[in-house]
Amino acid sequence: MNSRLACAAVVAFVSAVVPLLKGTSAQAQSALLKNLETCNGGGTISVDLQINGCTVLINSGALSPQGLAVAHNTRGNAYSRKQEYDRAIRDYDDSIRLDPSYSKAFNDRGVAYQKKVELDRALADFDEAIRLTPSYAIAFANRGQTFQKNGDFDRAAKDYSEVIRLQPQYEQMIRLQPQMEADWKRLLQVVRNERCWVRAIIGDLQVALAECDEALRLHPNTAAIFDSRGLVLLKMTRWDAAIADYDSALRLQPNMASSLYGRGFAKLKKGDTRRGNDDIKAAITINASIVANFRDYGLP
């Protein structure tokens, strides 16, 4: 869930930098705009080139404190994509120091802490991002995922539901910035799937099933959602229906360990020992932790 609506970052960055270029020569202005474009990334620009572009802007002396905050945050995101989370966090720290009201920097630093499995720090940053921007759907999604990693499934489900509640506001934003639509749809797909998943873990099975059904209606042919509904059906002891959903997931993503294990589990329950064990062995080959995972889900 650490994706960010890239177009929103570009718009904020351009508005912070462009007014500062008016007093510069045309040549200097052209060079800064080129580095601005490189720093914003996208297309065929490599992560290393993006970092270099941001560094030139940061060192240029042409940015206001707010512009510097955005540049540091953007460079931090590039380091995060390289999985250099400590370097990313240093940039996020600088961004927050320069603009303590910049909720995106708190969200993005929270993602870096989540990747480092420093979940308490991640939650604190997501809390602050949401305090600063109460309609920040991505921060709710990221906090929900962090609660989920922490085993706090009830609070995770509430945060995922908050993302869905905010949908009308984001649809209004999309009318102004149509480029956001694909990212928003991907976010909703992930959130609906995770909301179904955590309800299944909690044991709220009828609600989980309804949420999986709705997620598949809106996002058909999505392996992860079939996999989530398969788990719900396993916990409801509906073995044939679970097998059918796992079959659908595996047609779309043949090496999904959770679907192989879940299908094997259901086959064993039906007395199909040979094929059930084959699926389970294949799942363990892909993910050695899968048995423990399903035990945690309440399926020993």
- Distance, first Cα to last Cα, the chain: 29
CA dist 91 and 72 (Å) reads 5
pLDDT at 87: 97
- CB-based contact 162:188 (threshold 8 Å): no
DSSP structural state of residue 44: T
pLDDT at 257: 97
CA dist 259 and 9 (Å) reads 37
Question: Residue 271: helix, strand or coil by DSSP?
Answer: coil
pLDDT at 242: 98
Domains in the chain: ranges and CATH: 1-129 (1.25.40.10), 135-220 (1.25.40.10), 222-300 (1.25.40.10)
CA dist 216 and 223 (Å) reads 10
How confident is the prediction along the chain (300 residues), in pLDDT tens digits per residue? 332 222 233 233 333 343 344 445 556 667 778 888 889 887 788 999 999 999 998 998 888 899 999 999 999 999 999 999 999 999 999 999 999 999 999 999 999 999 999 999 999 999 999 999 999 999 999 999 999 999 999 999 999 999 999 988 888 888 888 888 888 888 888 899 999 999 999 999 999 999 999 999 988 999 999 999 999 999 999 999 999 999 999 999 999 999 999 999 999 999 999 999 999 999 999 999 999 999 988 898
Own/partner long-range contacts of 142-148 (Cβ < 8 Å, ≥24 apart): 142/1, 142/2, 142/107, 142/110, 142/111, 142/114, 143/110, 144/1, 144/191, 144/194, 145/1, 145/114, 145/194, 146/110, 146/114, 146/119, 146/122, 147/123, 148/194, 148/198
Question: Residue 117: helix, strand or coil by DSSP?
Answer: coil
pLDDT at 181: 85
CA dist 197 and 212 (Å) reads 8
pLDDT at 29: 63
Entry pTM: 0.82
